[in-house]
Amino acid sequence: QKEVEQNSGPLSVPEGAIASLNCTYSDRVSQSFFWYRQYSGKSPELIMSIYSNGDKEDGRFTAQLNKASQYVSLLIRDSQPSDSATYLCAVGNSGYALNFGKGTSLLVTP
């Protein structure tokens, strides 16, 4: 059984702080890694993808991947109340559908 584990939270951070979201996965041959944001009552929205070890930055978001430790993280800098949502980690292997974690609920307080 391929597992994707996330702390369900809620993770509460003050406005302007850095939010750090973590994810571990069990399938060592996983090749693609994604972070989705899901607002309450809405469908998931892709915000970041990463395929190689290291960091990938896009605006206020940084994804980090460590395949040796089977660990993916998402950093959100200068967190805003509009970032309050559930963040889903998804892991994929060549040709096959993504396996999602349960998500981490993030609350950014003004």
Partner 1 sequence: EAGVAQSPRYKIIEKRQSVAFWCNPISGHATLYWYQQILGQGPKLLIQFQNNGVVDDSQLPKDRFSAERLKGVDSTLKIQPAKLEDSAVYLCASSLQPRDGYTFGSGTRLTVV
- Contact residues: partner 1, CB under 8 A: 4, 6, 31-32, 34, 42-46, 49, 88, 92, 94-103
The rounded distance, in Å, linking the Cα atoms of 57 and 59 is 6
Q: How far is CA 101 from each of CA 14, 21, 23, 24, 84, rounded to the nearest angstrom?
A: 25, 12, 8, 9, 18
Nearer to partner 1, 70 or 93 (CB): 93
Nearer to partner 1, 34 or 108 (CB): 34
Nearer to partner 1, 85 or 103 (CB): 103
Question: Which of 70, 1, 72 is CA-nearest to residue 33?
Answer: 72
Question: Which of 58, 108, 105 is CA-nearest to residue 79?
Answer: 108
Q: How far is the CB of 53 from partner 1 (least distance, A)?
A: 17
Strand partners, 61: 58, 76
Q: How far is the CB of 41 from partner 1 (least distance, A)?
A: 9
Q: How far is the CB of 83 from partner 1 (least distance, A)?
A: 19
Nearer to partner 1, 20 or 93 (CB): 93
